[in-house]
Every structure is written in C-alpha cells, then in structure tokens.
Amino acid sequence: MIDFTLSENDRDILEQIRREGLVTRKYARHYDDHEEELSPIALPEAAEFPSLPQRVMQRPAGDTGLATLQMLMGIARSWGDTVVLRYQGTALGNAALNAAGTPAQKERWGKTMLAMAITEPGCGSDSKAIKTTAKRDGDHWVLDGEKIFVTTGIRAEGVVVWATTDASAGRAGIKSFVVMKGTPGFEITRKEKKLGIRSSDTAALSFTHCRIPRDHLLGGDESIPKQGSGGFRGVMKTFNMTRPGVAAGGIGKARASLDFTAEALEQEGVRIDWERGRASRSAVEAKLIQMEADAEAATLATLRAAWLADVNRDNNLEASISKSKGGEVARSVPQGCIEVLGALATSRQYLLEKWLRDGRISDIYEGTGQIQRLIIARAIFGYTSEELS
C-alpha cells in the first residue's frame, strides 16, 4: 500500500532544506544577473548546515523510501533557488552510470561528477537522429561530433556522451561513453546564455578525433542487435528516476510562487477563505484553489513514480506522467500567480518573475512535455515508438 507518511527524521531533513533554501535565495538574483560566473562549490553559509546526504543514508528505514524522500527534498530545494548551497559531486551522467554502468565502471567513476551530452545542433527530442560518431580503432573509440545544452558541462569532471557506432542501425547503434575533461580532442566551445536557471552552467562541447579507451563504453556491450534497441533501452532507464526529479524541481517553483502570492495578498489585507462555498468564492480564491490543486496533483504523481522505484517496480509510465504534470505546473502556477498579483509580481525586487523563467526548463529538458505525453500514450495504448512518434 502506498504510504507517504514521513518519519520525524524525514521532516527534520525537509525542514533543514527549506532553511537552506532561504539562504540560497539571498544569492539568487546575483547569479541570475551574472550568468557568466560559476557559483561557488559551496556558499559561505554551507558550513552552518550538516551534510544532508550522510544523514539520509543513516536515517532509519521508515514507511517512505529513499527515492520518495529524494523527490520531497527536490521540491524543497527548488522552493529555495537554483543556486545550490553546496554541490554534491554528481550530475545527470552519474544517473546514467548507475543505470547502465558495469560494477567496475561504477567503482571507477562513482565519485566523479559526470554531465550527460545527448542533444546536438540537429537533434533534440528525436535522439535516434544523433550524428556524433564513435568508431572503434584497436583498443580505443574515436569520437567526432558536437553537443549543445549540456547541463554542468563546464563544472563536471567528465561527460557521458551519446554517439552512434553504426548510423544504419538506428537506436540499436547508439551507445554512451565516458569522456574525461582534458582528453585531447574534447573542448568546451561555449557557455550557453539562457532564459532561466542562469546559475546552472550549460555548455556546448565538441569532439574532434577524440580517442578514449575501449572500456569507456558504458555497460561494455559493443554488440548491435539486429532487432530491438540493444543497450539504448538500458540507458533510457536513467530517465525513470531523473524525470520525477525534474518534476520535483518544477513543483518547487510552483510552491514557492504560491507561498509568495499568499504572503503578498495577506500584506495587502486580502484574506483567502479556503472554506467559502463555490457560489460565493472570489475570483482570486477560485484561482488559488485551482493552482493549489494542480500543484498537489503533480506532487502526488511524482511521489507515486518515486514510490514505484522504491519498491523496485517499473515506473516508466509514471515517470513520464510526473514529468508532464510537474512541467505543466512549473509554467502555469507562476504564470497564474503573476496574473493574481499584477505589476508587483513582475518587479525584479522579488523572485516571482525569476521562478517563472526558471520553471520553464522543467517542461523542456529530459524530454519535453509533448514527448512525455507520447510516451504516456504509447504505454497506455500499447504502441511502439515506431507506431506512435
């Protein structure tokens, strides 16, 4: 039975993250205005807070599993800001390593911060259109191609790069490779300038005759099956855990916007009566109730996707549902709050206009909302990606 009851220890953890969030908000505007700067590995106040991951690992087993707690932590963190109190040393490529790496690879790179590079100038949603190539040459792979919009591409120590080993094989030919910074032929070509999450570094990368050892192929399987998608499906499993995480980020922005709006209305002497019946509800009350309900629905969808992972059940469909709903509230709720508050909400004195910009990404990276809805439809109606794309 699903049970999202939190232990006292869980509640303490979430409370600490919210307190940390208030610290990160102090730095939010600076790193929004100065996208060219990398935020520090740890903010000066980090020393005031004990290290969270260790506490999570040591928490006694309760009704709520670790993945579910991590989603709640993600919502609480994002409620603060995209500036992080301290980097934990992992990024999206680490999730790929955990999902598809061999035990030896996990041992070797488990503590290395790895970004993930899939997107190219001519390929985003349709990852089978990847043009970056990986060719075997003796005991090496030689990579050639360009990648764009790589989150933490500048800060990370290495990158998990998706490349095709045989373009004629479609998805089955796509493999992922660990490429460390400093490898000859691997260059950061620029830092992207963005609408939102400007404190998060996003890079364009190039690979020119970039030689990496043969055992840098994630999972180690060089075969290309005649049928099916081979190792591709395994790497795609990365997203079953990270998509709910992206949803959590979007929900955090929605929650922050709702809290800000409630406080701003209170300061203006507007009291929200949640209990008032439908017939006598004000337009503002109706709007806020709708937004609260949407944010709650997205939260429950996200916790369900994480709970399935906690009990070792497939969550491919639920991960996409959570991502679709989380991405939606990240857009609709800050936008709705701005409608309620009017001009005040657009002032750069506050963070609401920034949360609107920051939340937009939740519906884009790791598969856009449209792509999530395709995945959902395929899972429900039993279509393959060839049949419904």
What amino acid positions are annotated as catalytic residues? 366
> Coil, helix or strand for 371?
helix
Cα angle: 382, vertex 383, 385; to 5 degrees: 140
How far apart, in Å, are the Cα atoms of 157 and each of 7, 154, 199, 347? Answer: 36, 8, 18, 38
How many Å from the N-terminal Cα to the C-terminal Cα in the chain? 35
364: contact with ligand FAD by CB under 6 A: yes
259's tokens: 């809290």
- Between the CA of residue 126 and those of 73, 215, 389, what are the distances in Å? 31, 27, 9
Determine if 89 is a binding residue for ligand FAD (CB under 6 A).
no
Asked if 347 interacts with ligand FAD (CB under 6 A), we say no
116 binds ligand FAD (CB under 6 A): yes
**Smallest distance from ligand FAD to CB 333, Å:** 20
Three-class HEC string of 145-202? EEEEEEECCCCCCEEEEEEECCHHHHHHHEEEEEEECCCCCEEEEEECCCCCCCCCCE
Q: Judged by CB under 6 A, which stretch of 36-44, 116-124, 258-266, 351-359 contacts ligand FAD?
A: 116-124
Segment near ligand FAD (CB under 6 A); pick from 23-31, 147-155, 270-278, 287-295: 147-155
235 touches ligand FAD (CB under 6 A): no
| Residue 68 or 202 with smaller CB distance to ligand FAD | 202
The amino acid at 249 = G
Task: Select from 149, 177, 260, 307 the one that contacts ligand FAD (CB under 6 A).
Answer: 149
Q: Does 239 sit near ligand FAD (CB under 6 A)?
A: no
Closer residue to ligand FAD, CB minimum distance, 304 or 325: 325
**Pseudo-torsion of CA 194, 198, 201, 205, nearest 10°?**
0
**From 34-42, 100-108, 110-118, 320-328, span contacting ligand FAD (CB under 6 A):** 110-118
Q: Which residue has the tokens 């995945």?
A: 375
Residues 6+ apart with CB under 8 A from 294: 254, 325, 328, 329, 332, 333
Nearer to ligand FAD among residue 272 and residue 379 (C-beta): 379
Answer yes or no whether residue 124 interacts with ligand FAD by CB under 6 A: yes
On the 0-12 / 13-18 / 19+ scale of CB atoms within 10 A, 293 is exposed
Query: Using the rule CB under 6 A, is 389 a contact of ligand FAD?
Result: yes
Q: Is 288 in the site for ligand FAD (CB under 6 A)?
A: no
The residue among 197 and 254 lying less far from ligand FAD, judged by its C-beta, is 197
For tokens 């998706």, the residue is: 162
CB of 328 to ligand FAD, least distance (A): 13
Q: How many residues bind ligand FAD (CB under 6 A)?
A: 22
Neighbours of 315 (CB within 10 A): 24
Which of the ranges 19-27, 245-253, 280-288, 361-369 carries the binding residues for ligand FAD, by CB under 6 A? 361-369
Contact pattern for ligand FAD over residues 191 through 210, marking x by CB under 6 A: ---x--x----x--------
- 150 sits near ligand FAD (criterion: CB under 6 A): yes
- Nearest approach in angstroms of CB 12 to ligand FAD is 32
Instruction: Please report whether residue 368 would count as binding ligand FAD according to CB under 6 A.
Output: yes
- Minimum distance from residue 331 beta carbon to ligand FAD (Å): 12
Segment lying near ligand FAD (by CB under 6 A), choices 138-146, 149-157, 297-305, 375-383: 149-157
- Report DSSP letters for 218-242, one per residue: TT------SSS-TTHHHHHTHHHHH
Please work out, in degrees rounded to the nearest 5, the angle formed at the alpha carbon of residue 334 by the alpha carbons of 152 and 198.
25
Where does this chain bind ligand FAD (CB under 6 A)? 92, 115-119, 124-125, 149-151, 194, 197, 202, 361, 364-365, 368, 370-371, 374, 389
